[in-house]
């Protein structure tokens, strides 16, 4: 498989002058009728609506005010790793524009700003000396949210490990568990009196597999053994991190997020169904089941027994943790087929193009638009004993947008939200305890190995001028949520 193909498939793991908010937010165009098969009230008055972001994807200021490099700084500065050799050095310049950018969330009538902390902005070496300017930056972000009546939701880790820690082995070194615990202890003590909603990790499947096995995300390693170790250390961290938040933050509301996709076999034959079960174990079950005290899903994916080599006495008990909610992140679905090589090299997936899915029904990431998928994963995860509350912590799509004056036409994205949200509502009406929905993402940003080509934002960014323009999809949310 070529690097380009790997990149496309890897996606399945997953889901000038700034205008003042007032200027950017002109009236809804007449043609944009809310026209949804539901109202916000149908989701209930306490249902939370928000946007999600990640530090490396939006902040820029990669070496400013004492920030240390992360693995993503190092990786993107190497030639040939990222589409068009792009990087997140500046990206949305959120570090300097956070004040107005957060106001845009309020303008769209949303409740929640989900963002991640850059570990190496706070601890440039990953451990030890604290960078006060980094600490202050997140205080300013949090304070701006609170001033506007928005809830800040913090993700402790969204893929940007301090490079200094990668130099010592990164997620493949068991010491990462203690490094992470020290970092979590520090930031929960720093911000815990103001922030009550915390998520430990974002989509662990993505950074462990793409970063340590496929080598197409930072840190760019290709080692089965490093992958297996990184899985176990990550599972320890997702539990220990939650315990630290619980200990340090009064009235904390704690979760962690998981990338999820419904998996269908290519057809009903036994071998394809078995392949589907394997991929389900890898994509959907691998991180949540240890947290629920169920161990690793080796029943359907025996190759995962290799993880046990890295398990020490007492670890299996330590993996279990007690979340208040889990974060579901869904974008598309996977169709599985039997192949002789192990599933983590993606040979077991039938690409949408080879299943007769038309271009119209693919996003710019070449992901199939499959609204029923979010209903299916909500049902699947809600069925676990031990999962009570669910928040959709990411869902969204990349399509081509058309800029017209101060506005941006993105009808396919509007339709996407209508269809996916209808399915969230269906699950809720059938009894799934889903209590929030956060769009990926606030504004166009650096989409990892794909660089700046796919735009996912509710807000369009002109990369030459940094001008922000709220898209029709953002206006659609504004109208849906008005007057609540």
Which spans of this chain sit near ligand IFM (rule: CB under 6 A)?
A: 14-15, 54, 57, 203, 329, 394, 440, 447
Minimum Å gap between C-beta 394 and ligand IFM is 5
Closest CA to 381 of 304, 316, 287: 287
Query: Could you say which DSSP state residue 367 is in?
Result: P
Phi, psi (degrees; rounded to nearest 5) at 194: -105, -25
Q: Across-strand partners of 201?
A: 157
Minimum Å gap between C-beta 252 and ligand IFM is 23
* Coil vs helix vs strand at 438: strand
Beta-sheet pairing, 197-201 with 253-255: parallel
Q: How many CB atoms lie within 10 A of CB 246?
A: 17
Both tokens assigned to 478: 């504004």
Minimum Å gap between C-beta 302 and ligand IFM is 28
Minimum Å gap between C-beta 179 and ligand IFM is 22
Minimum Å gap between C-beta 1 and ligand IFM is 19
Minimum Å gap between C-beta 312 and ligand IFM is 30
Minimum Å gap between C-beta 377 and ligand IFM is 14
- Are 35 and 421 in contact, with CB atoms under 8 Å apart? no
Minimum Å gap between C-beta 407 and ligand IFM is 24
Phi, psi (degrees; rounded to nearest 5) at 333: -135, 170
Catalytic residue among 203, 240, 447, 450: 203
CA distance 74 to 78: 7
Q: How many CB atoms lie within 10 A of CB 41?
A: 10
Q: How many CB atoms lie within 10 A of CB 317?
A: 9
**Cα dist from 74 to 68, 126, 162, whole Å:** 11, 15, 10
Closest CA to 209 of 230, 193, 188, 235: 230
The residue behind tokens 């946007």 is: 51
Catalytic residue among 289, 368, 394, 447: 394
Cα-based torsion angle of the residue sequence 345, 349, 354, 358 in order, rounded to the nearest 10 degrees: -110
- Are 258 and 203 in contact, with CB atoms under 8 Å apart? yes
CA distance 166 to 362: 36
61 preceded by cis ω (within 30°)? no
Residue 474, CB half-sphere, CA atoms under 13 Å: how many? 29
Sequence-distant (6+) residues with CB within 8 A of 383 are none
To the query of whether residue 107 is one of the catalytic residues in this protein, the response is: no
Q: How many helices (H) and strands (E) does the chain have?
A: 17, 15
To the query of whether residue 240 is one of the catalytic residues in this protein, the response is: no
Active site residues: 203, 394
């Amino acid at each position: 498989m070529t690097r380009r193909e790997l990149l496309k498939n890897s996606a399945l793991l997953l889901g000038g002058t700034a205008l003042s908010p007032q200027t950017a937010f002109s009236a809804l165009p007449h043609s944009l009728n809310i026209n949804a098969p539901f109202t916000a009230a149908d989701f209930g008055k306490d249902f939370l609506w928000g946007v999600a972001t990640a530090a490396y994807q939006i902040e820029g200021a990669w070496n400013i005010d004492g920030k240390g490099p992360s693995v993503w700084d190092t990786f993107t500065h190497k030639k040939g790793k990222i589409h068009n050799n792009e990087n997140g050095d500046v990206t949305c310049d959120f570090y300097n524009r956070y004040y107005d950018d957060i106001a845009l969330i309020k303008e769209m009538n949303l409740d929640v700003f989900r963002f991640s902390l850059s570990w190496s902005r706070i601890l440039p070496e990953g451990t030890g000396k604290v960078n006060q300017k980094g600490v202050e930056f997140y205080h300013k972000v949090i304070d701006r949210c609170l001033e506007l009546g928005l809830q800040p939701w913090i993700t402790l880790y969204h893929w940007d490990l301090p490079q200094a820690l990668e130099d010592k082995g990164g997620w493949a070194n068991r010491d990462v568990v203690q490094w992470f615990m020290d970092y979590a202890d520090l930031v929960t003590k720093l911000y815990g009196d103001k922030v009550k909603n915390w998520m430990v990790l974002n989509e662990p499947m993505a950074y462990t597999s793409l970063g340590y096995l496929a080598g197409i995300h930072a840190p760019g390693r290709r080692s089965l053994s490093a992958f297996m170790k990184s899985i176990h250390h990550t599972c320890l961290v997702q539990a220990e991190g939650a315990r630290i938040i619980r200990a340090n933050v009064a009235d904390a509301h704690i979760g962690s997020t998981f990338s999820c996709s419904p998996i269908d076999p290519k057809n009903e034959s036994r071998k394809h169904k078995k392949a589907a079960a394997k991929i389900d174990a890898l994509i959907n079950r691998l991180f949540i089941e240890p947290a629920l005290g169920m161990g690793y899903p080796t029943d359907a994916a025996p190759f995962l027994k290799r993880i046990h080599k890295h398990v020490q006495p007492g670890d299996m008990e330590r993996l279990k943790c007690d979340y208040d909610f889990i974060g579901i992140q869904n974008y598309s679905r996977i169709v599985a087929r039997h192949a002789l090589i192990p599933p983590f090299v993606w040979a077991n997936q039938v690409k949408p193009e080879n299943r007769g899915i038309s271009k119209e029904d693919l996003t710019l990431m070449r992901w199939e638009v499959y609204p029923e998928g979010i209903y299916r994963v909500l049902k699947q995860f809600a069925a676990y004993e031990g999962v009570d509350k669910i928040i959709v912590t990411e869902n969204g799509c990349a399509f081509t947008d058309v800029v017209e004056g101060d506005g941006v036409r993105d009808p396919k994205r509007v339709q996407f939200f209508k269809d996916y949200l209808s399915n969230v509502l269906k699950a809720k009406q059938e009894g799934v305890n889903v209590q929030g929905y956060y769009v990926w993402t606030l504004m166009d940003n650096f989409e990892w190995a794909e660089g700046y080509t796919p735009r996912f934002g509710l807000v369009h960014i002109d990369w030459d001028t940094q001008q922000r323009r709220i898209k029709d999809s953002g206006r659609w949310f504004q109208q849906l949520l008005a007057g609540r």
